[in-house]
Amino acid sequence: MFKVILLILAILLVYWFFWGQRKKNPADSSADKSAPASPEKMVICAHCQLHVPESECVMADGRHYCSDEHARLGQS
Where does this chain touch Zn ion (CB under 5 A) — which range of 10-18, 21-29, 30-38, 60-68?
60-68
Interaction residues for Zn ion, span 11-50 (CB under 5 A) = 45, 47-48, 50
Strands in the chain per DSSP E: 42-44, 51-53, 58-60, 63-65
Residues 41 and 54: beta-carbon distance below 8 Å: yes
> Residue 66 CB, nearest distance to Zn ion (Å)?
3
* Residue least distant from Zn ion (Cβ): 45
Task: Tell which one of 43, 57, 64, 66 touches Zn ion (CB under 5 A).
Answer: 66
Distance CA 37, CA 7 (A): 45
> Residue 42 CB, nearest distance to Zn ion (Å)?
13
Q: Which residues partner with 3 through β-bridges?
A: none
> Residue 53 CB, nearest distance to Zn ion (Å)?
13
Distance CA 71, CA 35 (A): 28
